[in-house]
Amino acid sequence: AAKAGKSSRKDNHLRPPKAISAHPYRCRPNSGGKIRKNFAPFQQPANAYVNLGLVDLSMNRGDEAAQNFRRAIEIDPHSISAFSGLATYFRLQNRAPDSLQILQKGIEANPDRVELQIARADVLYAAQKKEEAAASLKEFLDRHPKSTDGALAIGDFYTQRGDGEAAAAVYRVGMKADPKNVPLRERLVECYTDSGKLTEAEALIAEIIRLRPKDAVAGIARARIRLAEHKPEEAVEILRQETRDAPDMWQGHFFLAVAYRQTQQVGQAKGELQEALRISPNALLVRRAMTELSLQTGDVGVARETAERTVQLYPASPHDHVLLGTVMLRQGQVPAARDQFEAARQLAPGDPEPALSLGMAAVAERKWTEAEQQFEGVLKLNPRSGTALGALADLWFATGQVQKGIARVTQQVTAYPDDAGPHFILASLYAAAGRLSDAKDQFGRAIQLNPQLVQAYTRLADLHQRLGEIDAALARYEQALAMEPKSVLLHSIVADLYSRKGDIAKARKHYEQALTADPSFAPAANNLAWLELQSNGNLDIALSWAQKAKELLPDSTATTDTLAWVEYKKGLVSTAIPLLKECVQKAPQSAVYQYHLGMALAASGTAAEAKAHLTTALRLKLDQPESEDARRALSTLN
């Protein structure tokens, strides 16, 4: 039912099909209210065997599953789920021809149903027979030009495979048959959003709202546009309202989690994913996102549990086998990970993702030759795979074959001169080989080809910094910050460079912005305290920042030293000395820590100890101007 005037439609194409009940029989009470011992089957007995088959599949009892699916087909030759289940069994057995054959029989028995057409196209896609799949789907649309359900399903098929152009074309065909069909318009909005056609998407949303003034899906789509425009804060506000007005739409919670991730609010993102899973436990997009977020935050156990359940729910999904294998690889269970990657390759022999993952498994086992073969295999399947080329470059660097890497990546640059990825990888290899001028040229070319490639700006800035070109480095880092204004790391790097230039005001501004983005980022608090000291600023402010840094990183010698030195400057020598002794004990070869302890001891009147530590600091090559201060203090003590 609609809530607060919102759309009551919940199941757009992001929702996976509902799972069939796992209980093949139901109990029927007798006249006395007791449960009869003999169970009566469902009104459609074929469903009972389908359910048993699905349970068998989830428990890896393939042969039993096949028998139950065949029995269901005997009982009901038109059972879509029975044909689909048997085809899935064949796919899991790496028997794609048998899967296609059974699907074709199902299609012949159900010529007006699109579900089996989709399943057949999926098998053909996995076998790299995309043209044949597209032709069969087009033929179905040609025979059913007014089937909006067919257009929705086929458009969704293309969307889920990343072919937004084909999906949009199919949705437009459906809209010709039914110009006011809101679900088709909503799908088309998503296609336009994903492809960057934001003006077209906004126009369609306006039409949807005209037809349904308080449509929740339209609101979610508008938030997705804000995400595409790199305005996650605005998306958060829209989605908070949508989830309040339509709390039972899992899509709203899912995209709110996406927005929270973009604003670095990881805890809130996980909470929204949990809510989406509560509403729709089998939603594939949500399950994948939960696995990936759990991996990112180090909750490997949660990631493993989620991924394993996803594979049980969707055993014919190659990507989810890869995701489970990736979790296992993170846990160091390489053989188990390989099994999942191999299962994915059997399901989708022409998909480069399993081969890439097998290459990563080989790297984990230091099987360099096998890894190289797998990555090169990926490039044969997808010649523009930047991930595979980057993995090869990492491999050659790790094995001391940088020149070989340069030669191979140069071939890729020659083959695809307008692709930013190979230029970036070649630049990285040049930098590793010490050819900094060539590296700068290639990073610059990568930026020309893809001005949004943030990492190219930061790597180029790093090269400028290594060459002592501080102003050029700052310019590149500032460009990167314009694209990632909440990057704590970038703000800190820029602040450090401004500090080196003596521009304390700008350094302070960027450290503060880093803390605004992440209040728990201790290095920024520590450096703000140090800036106050270096600029003869307010010691009370310096103490506040130093105490905050110490609270955030209590075991850090750097934060301990900063706090102690601020206390020394404020005349709190008795509290500073124990902290400085702790620093020297942990890092006795630090000239700075020896110097700080020596100065504090001198101020306390402990001359012999002070002389020992100041002498040690000078022996350890204490930098200017601290070395001059140490000599003056020694002369006074002497």
pLDDT tens per residue across span 306-318: 999 999 989 889 9
pLDDT of 40 above 60: no
In this prediction, residue 364 carries a pLDDT of: 95
Q: Tell me which residue of 601, 600, 527, 605 sits closest to 570, measured CA to CA.
A: 600
Q: 352-364: per-residue pLDDT in tens?
A: 999 999 999 999 9
In this prediction, residue 350 carries a pLDDT of: 83
State the Cα–Cα distance between residues 366 and 256, nearest whole angstrom: 40
> pLDDT band at residue 16, thresholds of 50, 70 and 90?
very low
Q: Tell me which residue of 529, 572, 571 sits closest to 547, measured CA to CA.
A: 529
In this prediction, residue 35 carries a pLDDT of: 32
State the Cα–Cα distance between residues 515 and 483, nearest whole angstrom: 18
The angle subtended at Cα 624 by Cα 623 and Cα 629, nearest 5°, is: 105
State the Cα–Cα distance between residues 300 and 298, nearest whole angstrom: 5
Q: What are phi and psi of 255, to 5 degrees?
A: -75, -25
In this prediction, residue 59 carries a pLDDT of: 83
In this prediction, residue 451 carries a pLDDT of: 92
Mean pLDDT of 64-75: 93
Lowest-pLDDT choice from 100-114, 189-203, 529-543, 575-589: 189-203
In this prediction, residue 181 carries a pLDDT of: 85
Mean pLDDT of 177-187: 86
> pLDDT band at residue 27, thresholds of 50, 70 and 90?
very low
Q: Tell me which residue of 425, 468, 478, 432 sits closest to 449, measured CA to CA.
A: 425
In this prediction, residue 160 carries a pLDDT of: 83
Cβ pair 194, 205 in contact under 8 A: no
Q: 262-298: per-residue pLDDT in tens?
A: 888 899 999 999 999 999 999 999 999 999 999 999 9
